[in-house]
Amino acid sequence: MSTFKLIIASPDGNKFSEDAVSISVRGTEGDLCIMAGHIPFITAIKPCDCVIVMPDGSERTGKTQGGILTVSAESTTLMSGSFVWNK
């Protein structure tokens, strides 16, 4: 599977900065999933659970209180006021 660089940043610092297969979040217009090669765009993110699929097929989940998701050719960045990993 193709991967992309994913960064999750909060005022507490980077919470994640690794390669990922996908990230699923809730945007202002509904749920969305970003995968490698996605077109560049920026969107607001609502408070939601985030699901990240790792290159080995495992999943990591966390909660964001909302923020901005930026997708570019180089990386995808979720800037959140608060991000906490689920246990």
DSSP state of 47: S
pLDDT at 87: 80
Distance of alpha carbon 50 from alpha carbon 22, whole angstroms: 10
**Could you tell me the pTM of the whole model?**
0.94
User: Domain residues of the chain, as ranges?
Assistant: 4-85
pLDDT at 11: 94
Average pLDDT over residues 33-44: 96
- Write down the CATH number for the domain with range 4-85: 2.60.15.10
Q: Report pLDDT digits (tens) over 48-81.
A: 999 999 999 999 999 999 999 999 999 999 999 9
pLDDT at 22: 98
